[in-house]
Structure 1
Amino acid sequence: MGRKKLIAGNWKMNGSLAANAALMGELLAGIGQPACDVAVCVPAVYLAQVQLLLAGQGGIALGAQDVSQHESGAYTGDVSAAMLKELGARYVIVGHSERRQYQGETDAQVAVKAQRALAAGLTPIVCVGETLREREQGETESVVSRQLSAVIQLNGERLADLVVAYEPVWAIGTGRTATPEQAQTVHAALRALLAAADLQAAGVRILYGGSMNAGNAAELLAQPDIDGGLIGGASLKARDFLKIIETAS
């Protein structure tokens, strides 16, 4: 198993200049030399601040939470991949379930966003996941396969440069978590889909992103096809985030 684990924090729409400085201070003081990769995906307005806070260290990479599907131009409010790259971002989340739900992002738009990120030298963290209704109707694998296939079709020659995150929508911020077995089943299906498209994609990391926390991280990360976590609420608490990083290491 040559896949290095990745623990990525998603701050969502949280933070302030003071809170960010305090959180990053605690993380940098406690992280040491982790054996896994670590990233924090912060609101766009804080990228410059966190870039400065992270300067000169190698333990934590910077990430963004979204990217425009356009390169530049008359798209008020959008942030391009080139801008994110210039501000030191290494990762960017695309297709998070909250954006699919609240902003109406489609599979096709998510595929283009991944393409823009890759073209700018960013690593897209492509999110897929099903709702509770879809799970109850037995549609989990068809839904996540549809979502990932759109990205595969547009980015076929760059699949090895992606990160995928499986986020069961019914387990995000609800306190409900997929059992390790439920999560592993979906991760294995996603890995098979990637491998069928490109043998090089066997090295793609597939993160679990449904309410992973300090308490359940160990049994989730023990699954053969779970290569890390996309961490929401727990990434805003230094002690919890460090515990998950330690578990992954």
Structure 2
Amino acid sequence: MAERKPLISGNWKMHMNHLEAIQFIQKLSYALDQADYKSADVSIHPPFTNLRSAQTVLDADNIPVALGAQHCHWEERGAFTGEVSPTMLAKLAVSYVIAGHSERRQLFGETDDNVNLRLKAILAAGMTPIMCCGETLDEREADQTEARITDQVDGGLAGLKRDQVGAMVIAYEPVWAIGTGRTATPADAQAGCGLIRERVAANFGANAAAGVRIQYGGSVKPVNVAELMAQPDIDGALVGGASLEVDSFSRIIRFRLQ
């Protein structure tokens, strides 16, 4: 199995309008060169209102950054006010879609069953899901980390095929380290990502486990990314706040130079 190419993804959450998105993408393209793109895949995940503008500038300037979305519904169409379908995203050349982010689970009541439906719909539309999982502080302090991650991985991936799992992305995001300034140690991050790979191997086999890319997400910054990325089961980063500034995000993408 060839070495897994790192994937650095910027989750903008509810930040930036479409004009700011265009400016950000152009500035990011100036900050990176071909060597950076060869060493890591890059995706950006703007709010829905920015996707068309982002797609236009990426295509027009031939910028090798993948367009991603933060969420989608699992139905192709219907009476779901406020939702966006996978096929709508695919028509905008979206490559990656985040599913089951901790904020979606905590604030909007998403369940593992919901996430599973989303994954299947994202795959059916020809895009790659980034499935998020991770434990809360209460779960961690109650020694429930392994049980929580196991439930999320097993439930989220239920019914998928081995080749589908091997080609997707899973992000370990300990909830207690997201937006808190409190970062999991490299050992903590590796333990979570290693457990995810073990569950994939147990459920889908060694080839799927070797192929799936596992990101770490949780207060990733230029100062800690290289040490995190040095861990054997960490294949990228799902970056939140640090992806909103070109300087910090480009430095994270260029982690091999840190």
What band does the TM-score fall into relative to the shorter chain? over 0.9
What's the offset of the Cα at 1:31?
Answer: 1.3
- Per-residue displacement from partner, 1:115-135 (whole Å, max 9, x unpaired)? 100000110000001000000
Q: Report the Cα distance in structure 2 between the residues aligned to 1:248 and 1:71, rounded to whole angstroms.
A: 40
Q: CA deviation at 1:165?
A: 0.2
Task: List aligned pairs for 1:59-208, cutoff 5 A.
Answer: 59-157=64-162, 158-198=164-204, 199-201=206-208, 202-208=210-216
Gaps of 5+ in 1: none
Per the alignment, in what secondary structure is the counterpart of residue 189 of structure 1? helix
- Residue number among 24, 46, 52 corresponding to 1:48 in the alignment: 52
Q: For the residues of structure 2 that align with 1:156 and 1:193, how far apart are their CA atoms?
A: 14
Q: Give the CA RMSD over aligned residues.
A: 1.2
What TM-score do the two structures reach when normalised by structure 1?
0.97
Aligned-partner Cα distance in 2 for 1:38–1:210: 17
Structure 1 residue 211: deviation in Å?
A: 0.6
- What secondary structure, in the 3-state scheme, does the structure 1 residue paired with 2:158 have? helix
Question: 1:118 touches 1:161 (CA, 8 Å); kept in 2?
Answer: no
Question: Which residue identity lines up with residue 15 of structure 1 in the other structure?
Answer: M
- Contact residue 32 and residue 59 of structure 1 kept, 8 A: no
Q: Shift of residue 20 of structure 1?
A: 1.3
Deviations 1:190-214 (A, max 9, x none): 1011112223212100000011011
Contact 2:183 2:220 survives alignment (8 Å) = yes
The whole-number CA distance in structure 1 between the counterparts of 2:256 and 2:245 is 17
Tell me the CA shift for residue 59 of structure 1: 2.0
Counterpart of 2:221, as a letter, is N
- Which residue of structure 2 lines up, in the alignment, with residue 213 of structure 1? 221
Whichever residue aligns with residue 95 of structure 1, its letter is G
Counterpart amino acid of residue 244 in structure 1? I
8 Å contact kept, 2:17–2:49? no
Q: Report the 3-state secondary structure (helix = DSSP H, G, I; strand = E; otherwise coil) of the residue aligned with 1:62.
A: strand
| SS in structure 2 of the partner of residue 176 of structure 1 | coil
Within 2, Cα distance between the matches of 1:17 and 1:74?
A: 26
Q: In the comparison of the two structures, how many residue pairs are matched?
A: 249
- Could you tell me which residue of structure 1 aligns to residue 62 of structure 2? 57
Can you give the 5+ residue segments of structure 2 that lack an aligned partner in the other structure?
A: none
Counterpart position of 1:9: 10
Residue 232, structure 1, aligned to residue 233, structure 2:
no
Q: Taking structure 2 as the reference length, what is the TM-score of the superposition? A: 0.94
What SS does the corresponding residue of 1:89 show, helix, strand or coil?
A: coil
> Are the aligned partners of 1:36 and 1:248 in contact in 2 as well (CA < 8 Å)?
no
> 1:159: how far off?
0.9
Q: CA deviation at 1:32?
A: 1.0
Kindly provide the CA deviation profile for residues 42-88 of structure 1, in whole angstroms up to 9, marking residues without a partner as x.
Answer: 11111001001111425200000001021211112111100000011
